[in-house]
Structure formats: structure tokens, C-alpha cells
Amino acid sequence: MENGPTITAVPLSEADGTPSDYRESPNYREPPVNFEAEQALLGAILANNAAFEKVSEFLQAEHFADPIHARLFAACGKLIERGQFANAVQLKNLFDQEAGLAEVGGARYLAELQSSYVTIINALDYGRTIHDLYLRRELVTLGEDVVNESFEQDLDVGARDVIESAEERLYHLAEAGQTEGGLAPFKQAVIEAVNMTEAAFRREGQLAGVSTGLTELDKLLGGLHPSDLIILAGRPSMGKTALATNIAFYAANNPRQERDPEGQPIEVPEVVAFFSLEMSSEQLATRILSERSKVRSDAMRKGEISDHDYDAIFDASRDLYATPLFVDDTPAISVSQMRTRARRLKRQHGLSLIVVDYLQLMTAPAGRRSDNRVQEVSEITRGLKAIAKDLDVPVIALSQLSRQVEQREDKRPQLSDLRESGSIEQDADVVMFVYRDQYYAERAEPAPRDDETDDKFHERYAKWQERCEKVYGVAEVIVAKQRHGPIGIRKFAFDGDTTSFSDLASEEQLPDHY
């Protein structure tokens, strides 16, 4: 290497343990290494510890091909972190008993490294070279593992499992390959914030994120923002899956209206990934078809439809054919599998929104599963938040609520009702609840009492009917937490037959005869 030290490199056979007779084979290829670069970097660090600061953010001891160099780099890091000088004199005492160092010359090798120092300017280049070669060696190992796993005939591991495992390992390797990042000037964050504001200003609807299709909810949230984890929770039969499906379909079926730098209107498609762990893709499609065709979903399943209904369903299906909504109904999917598939979708088609129905049905990352379900759910929510940040898209994750809601007189959910909450409310940027008082009102029909008159019973019954009429077809979306803005409650119309949410008309908008 140019300007590098003139030390004799450690023999490769001593570094990786490859038998010398195998090296003489015509098929043998040496792994990608550069011992001279490792020696040059160590020499720069020993002569001037400031060189360590240039590479310590991305370079680690295991990235060195020579284990002796790895031990030296790790020891330098420990001394520098303690505020001590890392030089040949300090390291001599640490490595007097190191057999491996004695084989290459012991303290003399340290002195030669330090004396071979040329300049600190090249330290960063040396570090990047070492790191790049480490990634190449890992890629070689990964390729060998994929070949070996592909030849193995394991009934429990299919070809798709091998592919997903390889993609996950490649993803982690790509993450480890980041040599940039860390602290950045605040002005960069300011510029990004101004760009986001300008985009919202130019966009039709003045939203900074993906629209939900519900006007009042968009006003409260400002749309669904990239990198946000949105928890949508509710008790069974409240309509949380229906709301998530409505939002997903609206986003996929309505391209974002923006303006180019010249001010001309353009359409940007919103691609949505829907991970349905509870329903099959056919059931999800039935819900969307029911909502679009206004035909009851149960009638569609039973076949109790008229010719007019069938025509409406056919027309709706034709309209939905080109909708960029992608559904994955794999049961008990893990966070790593979800990340791999979402990354693949973004690479191939783009991605604007991820919906997960629902997070308690997911499995914890491999190696982090335990008997404590609260800890597992916490790992899952942290993983979903990481996906949102990594892919820079909003993630809506549905969640169940605990039964303690049913024990209260006011059954509107609270943050403390999140089932197996752990870190759900801490990790989430937005927490929303779906609540329909109609569900509870219809189940509270009064019965006659032995100690009351007919008039008294009719009075109670009339009040119950009045309550049912008041809450019929009305759903509340309760925003209980929002990092970016206010919390509040918004009411919407809910059609139970077609499981659809829509904006609720105010009394001022209704005709007089109503």
C-alpha cells in the first residue's frame, strides 16, 4: 500500500489456519485480506491516538483478518477509552504473556508497528479498506452457507426459508457496512424539516403524511408521517381491522397529489403493504369489496346476493384490480421476515405505508423468545419502530386491549388498557383507540324488574332506545397519544354491514326534515 509500513506481513496460514497443502491446490483462492493496511492503521494509532477516533465509529476488532491485529486494536481502544495513551510501551506489559504475539516477535513487533507510522491522514482510508475486506469475507461465508443449506434436504426448511434467511443476513450485513452517520450538524435537520413543510405546502390537502381518508382524523394527525409507529387498538368487534383496512385501501387507491418544482400538479402512487395475521387475503379482499360495492359481506360469503349486487361486486373488483395494495397473510410472521419482505417490496415497487393486523399474533425475533410474553411484545414493537425508521414509512400496528375495559362503567379505552403493553405506548408515536358505544348499548337492553311498575320499566326502556338511536352508526377514534400534536376524540360514521368508516355529517349539514 502506498505510504504504508515496510513490516513483513504475518503469514496467512497463521492467521486463518488453512492447511498449507490445500493452499497449493489450483482451486484455492485466498480470502480478501490486506495485512499491510491493518499494520499501517495500527502503526498510525500507536504513534498518534487521534487516528483511533477517525475509525472507531465503524471499525471493530473482529473486522481485522489477523487475530493478533484484532487483539492489538481492542487493547488500544480500551486504553484510549480510559484516558490513557496507547503505545508500544503500554501494550508491551499487556502482551508479554501473549503467545501469539511472541510468535511474530513480541515487543519488537509492537515497536516496529509504531516506528512504521507515516501519517494520520491515511488512517481513515486504511480503516475503510479493512472494513470493506471484512464485509467481503462475510459475503463469501454467507454464500458458502447458502450453497450448503441449499444442498441439504430438510423437510422443515424450504427454499423460501433459505432465501429469507439469506436476505435477513444480507440486511444485517448491510447495516454493519454503514461507515457514515453519527452526529451531524443541526442545520441538516433544519433543512429536512423545511423541505417537509414545503412538500406539505405544495401538496393538495396540506398534509405532511399519508392521508387516512377521514377528514377530521387527517386534521388532527396531519396524515400518517414517515418513520412513525401508529398503534391502533380496540376491544373485539369495535372495528379496528375495518378502520385499518379502510385507511390502507384509501391510501392505495388515491395517489398523493403534489406539485413539481415548476408548480405543475403530479400524482405519486401510495404503495401499501398489509400483513394480515388474523384474516386470510381472501377475507380481507371480501371486506374491501363489500365496502366498495355496498353489499353486505356476510351475504357475499353465503351467496345471498341479487343480480344487481353481483354486478356491483364485479364493477368494484374491476376498479380494485390495479390498486397497489399488497397483502401477506403469513401466520405468526416474525419481525425479521416482515422487514425482509417490506424492503423487497420497497425496492421493487416503492412503499408508502405498512399495516400489521395484529401485533400480538407476531412472533418475537429469533433468539429473543421467552416465556415472558410482555417482553416478547416489547421486542416486537421495538422491531416495528425500527422498520418504520429504516424504511422511512408509517407503520400502523393493530393491538388488542385487556378485559379490564369491560369492568368500568365508562368503557372508553385508556393507555393503561393496552394488552401486554410493556413498551407499546413508549415506542409508539401515535396511539389511537376505536370505540363504538352502539356495541355496548345494544347489549344493555333493560329487562322488567319485579319491584317496578310498568310505567317505570317503559321509562327505562325509552331511555335505552334513545341512547341506541343516538349512538347508532357512530364510532369514535380516540387519539390518546401523539408526539407531533394534540390528542382528542373524533366521531365518524360506521356502517356495520359493509364495515366501512366515513366522515360524519354534522347537524348543521343535515336537511331540516331530518
**Which class in CATH covers the domain with range 12-176?**
mainly alpha
pLDDT digits (tens, 9 = 90+) for 401-412: 877 777 777 778
CATH topology of 12-176 equal to that of 208-433? no
Distance of alpha carbon 355 from alpha carbon 395, whole angstroms: 6
Q: Is the pLDDT of residue 53 over 70?
A: yes
Residue 354 confidence class, pLDDT cut points 50, 70, 90: very high
CB–CB of 284/274 below 8 Å?
yes
Q: Is CATH 3.40.50.300 correct for 208-433?
A: yes
Task: List the single range of 46-55, 181-190, 400-409 with lowest mean pLDDT.
Answer: 181-190
Structure-block grid coordinates of residue 508: 348543521
pLDDT at residue 2 in the model: 44
Q: In the predicted model, is pLDDT for residue 6 greater than 50?
A: no
pLDDT at 27: 63
Question: Which SS3 state, helix, strand or coil, does residue 146 take?
Answer: helix
Burial class (CB in 10 A: 0-12, 13-18, 19+), 163: middle
Residue 369: the pLDDT is 55
> In this model, does residue 126 exceed pLDDT 80?
yes
Say if CB 195 and CB 361 are below 8 A apart: no
| Predicted local confidence at residue 13, as pLDDT | 43
* Helical (H) or strand (E) element with 382: helix 373-391
Which of residues 281 and 21 earns the better pLDDT score?
A: 281
- Per residue in 470-500, pLDDT tens? 888 888 888 888 888 888 888 888 887 777 8
Task: For residue 86, give the 3-state DSSP assignment.
Answer: coil
**Radius of gyration of the chain, Cα coordinates, nearest whole angstrom:** 31
Question: Which amino acid, one-letter code, is at 313?
Answer: I
- Residue 12's pLDDT band (cuts 50, 70, 90): very low
* 342-362 mean pLDDT: 85
- List, in sequence order, the alpha helices (H) in 177-261: 186-202, 215-221, 240-253
* pLDDT score recorded for residue 110: 76
- Report the DSSP pairing between strands 265-268 and 256-259: antiparallel
Is residue 39 packed enough to be buried (19+ CB in 10 Å), middle (13-18) or exposed (0-12)?
A: buried
**Residue with more model confidence, 202 or 57:** 57
- pLDDT number for residue 116: 66
Confidence tier at 5 by pLDDT (50, 70, 90): very low
Under DSSP, is residue 456 helix (H, G, I), strand (E, B) or coil? helix
Q: Give me the pLDDT at residue 14, please.
A: 46
Give 292-328 pLDDT, tens digit per residue: 788 877 777 777 778 887 888 888 887 777 788 888 8
Q: What is the mean pLDDT of residues 51-72?
A: 84
Query: Nearest Cα to 104, choosing from 4, 5, 10, 7?
Result: 10
With a threshold of 0.75, does the pTM exceed it?
no
| Biggest CA-to-CA distance, the chain | 107
Statement: residue 233 has pLDDT above 60: yes
Please check the confidence at residue 40 and state whether its pLDDT lies above 80. yes
Q: Are strands 265-268 and 395-400 parallel, antiparallel or unpaired?
A: unpaired
Report the chain's mean pLDDT, rounded to a whole number: 77
> Tell me: the pLDDT tens digits for 419-449?
655 577 778 888 898 888 888 877 777 777 7
Give Cα separations from 322 to 11, 283, 285, 326 (angstroms): 61, 19, 13, 11
pLDDT over 80 at 223, yes or no:
yes
What's the pLDDT at 28? Answer: 65
* Distance of alpha carbon 142 from alpha carbon 29, whole angstroms: 16
Q: Confidence band (pLDDT; 50, 70, 90) for 8?
A: very low
Map out the domains of the chain as residue ranges. 12-176, 208-433
**Cα distance between residue 169 and residue 174, in whole Å:** 8
